[in-house]
A and B are shown apart, each in its own frame.
Chain A
């Protein structure tokens, strides 16, 4: 596989379920990101990991829990979500060369529906 992959592509879950989204990048990058894309709202940055350390958390509710075990993998663990959390969740990766405006490359997203 090449680029950034995400699984699953679609997920339907109840409010009491626990599930995880997976992202994998095959680009040799060292920074990874989670974005949330809701209808009629701009993409919102949720989490940033650089060299496997979380460097930014944009006031995301604790029901979203990220994990970055290595530079190629990123997870988003979900529990007790609300219907308003239904959205497209996009993963991205980039090099982290400091000040270089590193281009972020995106995966195809996971369409999440919370019932």
Chain B
């Protein structure tokens, strides 16, 4: 089976760094995805990790530890437009995705 957990809400200040954590329990784990979803819009792909370590993409980075069933999304130099929900999703070898409840991030001036 699969289970994913992430914080429901977070608040941070413009220009700061924020880390959004995600823990998962996935049989036959085959990768961890992060998506960004602005209110009323579709989720859009941010990052993918399958091996341990950090993947960096501009202001966004994602980290994975397979042994701990843990990932985080790191957002640097926060901007107001980063206010959104961030969804963590794990995939298993059967190509089944399970999404976490999403973390709503509010960036304050």
Q: Do A and B come from one complex?
A: no
Interface residues of B (CB under 8 A from A): none
Residues of A within 8 A of B (CB): none
